[in-house]
Amino acid sequence: MDIAFSPSRPDADTLVFAVAKGAVETLPLSASPTLTAGASAARFAGEAGTSFESFVEEGGKVLRVVLLGIGGGGDADLERAGGALTARLATSGAVHAAVEFPAGGAGKDAARLAFGALLRGWRIETYRTRQPEKAKPTLKTVTVVSADAGAEWDRLSAVAAGVAFTRELVAEPANILYPESFVERCQPLRELGVRITVLDKAAMAELGMGALLGVAQGSMREPRLLALEWDGTDGAQKKPVVFVGKGVTFDTGGISLKPGPGMEDMKWDMGGAGAVAGAMKALAGRKAKAHVVGICGLVENMPDGGAQRPGDIVTSMSGQTIEVLNTDAEGRLVLCDALTWAQKSYDPEILVDLATLTGAMIVSLGSEYAGVFSNDDGLADDLIAAGKAAGDPLWRFPLGDAYDKLLESPIADIKNIGPRFAGSITAAQFIKRFVNDGVKWAHLDIAGMVWADKPGAVWDKGATGYGVRLIDRFVADTFES
């Protein structure tokens, strides 16, 4: 689906009028009394994301007319409205929709509505060969009538491209997307000015990444560590902010095998790495004035004869030894080595990891919030504020020495799981052991957010792209404001 902007109404088969809450009577149509009466009968009042549809005859043609509620007209309302428009028209038979705001509308409002429409319009059609005619997408173009969407659209369209990239990575099946092919999918980011570094199995072994390599040893797919660096400051920002993503491209649980029902969902256990890659595409695409590094620890967790066993002890790159009591608690093993390498290579002051880490997080928060853990109140507050503004919400969880005791091992420095309760917290406590003194660190457990079983305001069922907008907003507010 294409997005366009025009100072005047184009020749379209569908007319869409943005209606603020309580402003149905102000429609700029000769037939507005009829539409107003119909909208009133349908109890349409302009709430964000609601709509009323009818048909009118104009110039000898019958046109579809949609009244689209934009609520109070804030960013979230406009995004919701744009998403609702796409959801309503995507397979409706409409081909070209023209959207008009009252009195022309501001460029920023037009860009924000178009952003929501574009986000909601993403879908993966790669593997469909047969589809009912009425299920096929028909909507090709949304033109927003606005004199100037300008720089605002340049920025938002780059973020939308990053979200789409993340969704693509998360949605792909594990026979298509695995560590090596994930790296290949990221190669086009070089064209945006992103510097790419890749470590293979041999390089990681030489560095002593026994924790990450232990997870990968049961798979025929070799692991990779991928670093994506964007510097839009020309060297002025000496220390980059670093984001690290868990990239388990498929997670069977290893020898601690997961139950069969639902295991197919574990293709999205690389959602943290997917979010990091998409965010780097967004930041480079909009030429962010910040120095940012995204690191993806990429492995596949499989249960063959060479797989890691419960009870094995591995040595991490940091030198700390880990008793692996459960091979399905693998994400933290990947992250601990990726975080150590990140700190040794880039010496960051701010370090944030994103991971679909624990089922316990889904039990706690469902699919409404991701959890955030941090050793710095200011960093946690900034991330929560960015998530709220961007539409990727976070809820803070505690850390504390009492939880550390739950990870004590009788035979190694630390064990990789705690007892049954507080599972998300003990996972965060584990990761914290590998963060250097003085580094501001946050861990985002996004297990409930990267995949949706039902449509949302700006996504369809499936991959949501969670994390891209959050990272982009955090970088903009913290380093570019």
What positions carry a catalytic annotation?
A: 258, 332
Closest CA to 353 of 368, 373, 369: 373
DSSP 143: E
Concatenated DSSP letters for 144-213? EE-S--HHHHHHHHHHHHHHHHHHHHHHS-TTT--HHHHHHHHGGGGGGT-EEEEE-HHHHHHHT-HHHH
Structure tokens at 199: 């470590």
Bridge pairing between strands 224-231 and 291-301: antiparallel
Exposure letters 252-280 (e unless 16+ CB within 10 A, then b): bbbbbebeeeeeeebbbbbbbbbbbbbbb
Structure tokens at 421: 């309760």
Give ∠ CA 45-46-47 in degrees, rounded to 5: 100
Please enumerate in sequence order all residues whose Cβ is within 8 A of that of 428, keeping only pairs 6 or more positions apart, or say none: 373, 397, 399, 443, 445
Give ∠ CA 300-305-309 in degrees, rounded to 5: 75
Scan for tokens 């173009």, then name that residue: 141
Bridge pairing between strands 451-452 and 440-445: unpaired
Dist. CA 341–CA 363, nearest whole Å: 31
Dist. CA 326–CA 131, nearest whole Å: 42
Concatenated DSSP letters for 8-28? S--S-SEEEEEEETT-GGG--
Cβ-based neighbour number of residue 442 at 10 Å: 25
Dist. CA 157–CA 401, nearest whole Å: 44
Dist. CA 481–CA 66, nearest whole Å: 38
DSSP 103: G
Rounded to the nearest angstrom, the gap between the alpha carbon of residue 306 and the centroid of all alpha carbons in its chain is 33
